[in-house]
Copies of this chain bind each other. A is one copy, B any other.
Amino acid sequence: KSLRGLGMELRCRCIETESQIQIRPHIRKVEIIPANSHCEESEIIATLRGTGLEVCLDPEAQWVKKVIERMMSR
């Protein structure tokens, strides 16, 4: 769940992804970074309310896709 450096995305920022759907109500915003020359996989980084903690989410997980869909429609 930790992130490496928060540089200009010169490499993947996620080491592992958070699978706990319980964090859903605590998500303040998400950042989506498509696969690029520095990182082969697209990454989704959620910032949590209150703590401002950054957590990586699995772009393939259905619940993550739903969260993002809902965030865009409200």
Contact = CB atoms under 8 A, between A and B. Distances in A.
A32 B71 contact: yes
How many protomers of this protein does the assembly include?
2
Contacts of A42: 71-74
A30 interface: yes
Q: For chain A, what secondary structure do more than half of its interface residues adopt (helix, strand, loop), or is it mixed?
A: mixed
A27 B44 CA distance: 15
Interface residues of A, number: 21
A33 interface: yes
Contacts of A1: none
Contacts of A31: 29-32
Interface of A: 9, 27-36, 42, 44, 59, 65, 68, 70-74
